[in-house]
Structure 1
Amino acid sequence: MKRRAHPHKFLHKWTKILFLLLLLGFCFGSFVLLEKHHSQIRIFASFSPPAVLRPKIAFLFISRNRLPLDIVWDAFFQGDDENRFSIFVHSRPGFLFNNATTRSAYFIDRQVNNSIQVEWGESSMILAERILLKHALADPLNTRFIFVSDSCIPLYNFSYTYDYIMSTPTSFVDSFADTKEGRYNPKMDPIVHIQNWRKGSQWVVLTRKHADIVVKDDVVFPIFQLHCKRKSLPEFWRDNPVPLDNSKEHNCIPDEHYVQTLLSREGLDDEITRRMLTHTSWDLSFSKEHDRRGWHPVTYKLADATPTLIQSLKDIDNIYYETEYRREWCTSKGKPSPCFLFARKFTRPAAFRLLKTSVLSFNEASR
């Protein structure tokens, strides 16, 4: 007797045939669609891929009025073609950076609109720094924040500077325990303990985390406003009452203590590289009075602007901290490196001479 085919086999066979027909139909339809939109596809294919957004360095300039060294910084910023920096300037209230006040397009309209009048040695300097940081933090791509003075110059080109800073995950904050009597005001306790009292430079480089801490601080800053004040000096007595006995005054310069003390109080000493990237030479012969020595940094003038000076700054590879008997060897990417990327204080003629004679060369090859 002849065996009849099982009905499931017929169903399986027709299913395979139907699948093949659908596949052929899909391929044919796709081919027709590609032919129809061939010209549009070629246009889209010719477009360049979207630019990759890279982390940026925010340069925060603190200036009295205009920036006298703007042309030097203009040459420096020209070394970047990937939009890896942003600029913010704090100048006196009402001062505008436009074609009449700056020769660099990089600084036009870069002044913050809520600046304040800053007085040396007062908490207004800290407030100016906080204003700059708040503006810079509004851009989520800003991940490093550098405070720059109006007399500061870069020592290397942009690419080297960018790689150096970005390769270090910490903030650059020269911070050491300040044990000199008279600087710490006991009235700060218990908000600011003497164990967290630190001193350093205001020209710090902060990570985004630490910049955010500075901006949001509403505990330590008010204490500094009340109890951290510079000692009265004769040159200021014409504007202020003459103290009866200034030997009992605390000599606290707010911007030299605030960031260092705040980060220490937050338990973040291990998250900072305890040195600065801006070189300053202090004039220890300024006064015969011991407590006034080192108040003013050396100003480099036209005659000082030589290749020898710049090379000597670049050759510095370690820093010694006398108060802690500590020597800090400078590294970048785990290897020995120069300590400083910037230097101050330079007059306008001195900085322009360095630029004109190519002592400061910011092209890629020169580093």
Structure 2
Amino acid sequence: MLASSPCFPTTSSSRSPLLLSSILILLSLPLFFLLAPRVLPPRTLPAIPASDELDDLALFRRATLASPDVRLLGSPGRRTSPPPKVAFLFLTNSDISFAPLWERFFRGHAGFFNVYVHADPTASIVSPGGVFHGRFIPAKPTQRASPTLISAARRLLAAALLDDPANAFFALVSQHCVPIHSFRFVYRAVFDAATAADRGRRPRYRSFIEILSGEPGLWDRYVARGDQVMLPEVSFDQFRVGSQFFVLTRRHAVAVVRDRRLWKKFRMPCLKSKEDSCYPEEHYFPTLLSMQDPAGCTGYTLTRVNWTGSVGGHPHTYRPGEVTAELVRNLRRSNGTYSYLFARKFSPDCLDPLMELSDSVILRD
């Protein structure tokens, strides 16, 4: 009896720590789930703030309701008041270094174009004046590997739709883009393409936007937000890729700002593990227009980009020593139906050699 009695406290003491540990684990679970998002690294890249989404929704609704019937717009050679215009949409996160070249490009063509600038408010960007004076629209921050670049382009389209019902084409360019033809050439190129295609009928303008399928790495980009996230709105066989820079018709600009169905998918942030495959701005516009009106798109971009030797998703950047008359002529050439009208990417210090070529080469067709 005496020999066996010590067994009771020994067994009790061995069970108590185990029981206590179990109770502590159960009690700590709610605290773990509460603090985990702050302690563990985020699973996705930053999302668009809800306040930005609400502001955009109101803007896009106004632009959609205010847009007139684009079929009433005239074409070059047909008397209209005012004539149809090209809206140039500058998307930038730094100073517009090539403003003097663009000034020379626009000179003498007032009444045939409008300028709009979306400048990232987190950067200290100074208006260069001239045609850019008073043309900066309310902007939100943008960043790579983020749908914020799509939002910025949509804001530019909405602002241009609201500002002038004569805007018939909408050309998206960046601070690194330069014209490689005269304004007269550019204007005739976008309008005459529609007129020639319609063979004398009322012109139905077409958008110049690159739309590609079956490209290498497309599946990785499709699942950048998750394996099944894009379904059912966008199946993989509907997923497209193309240049971020385009020239859209007015009806397609309206379609973009009106869209809610595809946007609810593309606005979702990419998984952090898929950051290297996250380029939503290269997919949203070609996918949307390919699904809605493929016959209304040429399938070509009018902006020439050199991807030879690209680094980190950035194309080749031209330096002053590369800027020659021969380079400009080569950049114009295309294997497709249409000549290139713009080119990128140029470093800011290319301004002087480009200005030297402006009258003799760039703006002389």
Q: TM-score, normalised by structure 2?
A: 0.69
Per-residue deviation at 1:209?
0.6
What is the aligned length?
A: 269
Q: Following superposition of structure 1 onto structure 2, how do residues 59-70 of structure 1 map, counting pairs within 5 Å?
A: 59-70=88-99
Going from structure 1 to structure 2, the CA distance change for 1:210 and 1:68 (only over 3 Å counts) comes to same
1:299 to 312, 317, 336: 317
What is the CA deviation profile of residues 1-25 of structure 1, one whole-angstrom value per residue up to 9, with x for unaligned ones?
Answer: xxxxxxxxxxxxxxxxxxxxxxxxx
User: 2:5 corresponds to which residue?
Assistant: none
Q: Following superposition of structure 1 onto structure 2, how do residues 38-187 of structure 1 map, counting pairs within 5 Å?
A: 52-81=81-110, 83-93=111-121, 101-113=126-138, 115-138=139-162, 139-168=164-193, 169-178=205-214, 180-185=218-223, 186-187=228-229
Going from structure 1 to structure 2, the CA distance change for 1:342 and 1:79 (only over 3 Å counts) comes to farther
For the 8 Å contact 1:147–1:205, the answer to whether it is kept is: yes
Distance 2:261 2:254 in 1: 14
User: 2:286 corresponds to which residue?
Assistant: 260
Distance 2:266 2:360 in 1: 39
What is the CA deviation profile of residues 95-140 of structure 1, one whole-angstrom value per residue up to 9, with x for unaligned ones?
Answer: 797xxx3444100111002x10000121000000111000000111
Question: Does 2:277 align with 1:251?
Answer: yes
Unaligned runs of 5+ in 1: 1-49, 233-245, 287-291, 319-328, 332-338
Distance 2:137 2:334 in 1: 36
Question: Does 2:337 align with 1:330?
Answer: yes
What is the CA deviation profile of residues 166-208 of structure 1, one whole-angstrom value per residue up to 9, with x for unaligned ones?
Answer: 1232101110114533121232110112221000011011000
Distance 2:268 2:356 in 1: 47
Amino acid at match of 1:125: L
For the 8 Å contact 2:212–2:241, the answer to whether it is kept is: yes
1:317 to 334, 348, 363: 334
Distance 1:304 1:92 in 2: 29
Amino acid at match of 1:124: T
Identity rate of aligned residues, in percent?
32
Per-residue deviation at 1:249?
6.9
Amino acid at match of 2:102: W
Per-residue deviation at 1:300?
0.5
Amino acid at match of 1:317: S
Structure 1 counterpart SS, 2:287: helix
Question: Does 2:245 align with 1:203?
Answer: yes
Distance 1:66 1:95 in 2: 9
User: 1:354 corresponds to which residue?
Assistant: 354
Going from structure 1 to structure 2, the CA distance change for 1:360 and 1:171 (only over 3 Å counts) comes to farther
Amino acid at match of 1:224: F
Distance 2:185 2:133 in 1: 25
For the 8 Å contact 2:90–2:174, the answer to whether it is kept is: yes
User: 1:275 corresponds to which residue?
Assistant: 300
Distance 1:250 1:191 in 2: 24
Distance 1:58 1:183 in 2: 31
Distance 2:262 2:345 in 1: 30
Q: Which has the higher contact order (CA 8 A, sep 6+)?
A: 2
Amino acid at match of 1:218: R
CA RMSD of aligned residues (A): 2.3
Going from structure 1 to structure 2, the CA distance change for 1:190 and 1:120 (only over 3 Å counts) comes to same
What is the CA deviation profile of residues 270-290 of structure 1, one whole-angstrom value per residue up to 9, with x for unaligned ones?
Answer: 11001100000013363xxxx
For the 8 Å contact 1:96–1:111, the answer to whether it is kept is: no
What is the CA deviation profile of residues 202-243 of structure 1, one whole-angstrom value per residue up to 9, with x for unaligned ones?
Answer: 10110001100100111111211226x3x75xxxxxxxxxxx
Which has the larger helix fraction? 2
What is the CA deviation profile of residues 257-299 of structure 1, one whole-angstrom value per residue up to 9, with x for unaligned ones?
Answer: 0001111222x1111001100000013363xxxxx6xx11010
Going from structure 1 to structure 2, the CA distance change for 1:196 and 1:341 (only over 3 Å counts) comes to same
Distance 1:285 1:133 in 2: 29
Going from structure 1 to structure 2, the CA distance change for 1:147 and 1:249 (only over 3 Å counts) comes to closer
1:191 to 205, 218, 233: 233
**Which protein has the larger Cα radius of gyration, Structure 1 or Structure 2?**
1
Going from structure 1 to structure 2, the CA distance change for 1:226 and 1:251 (only over 3 Å counts) comes to same
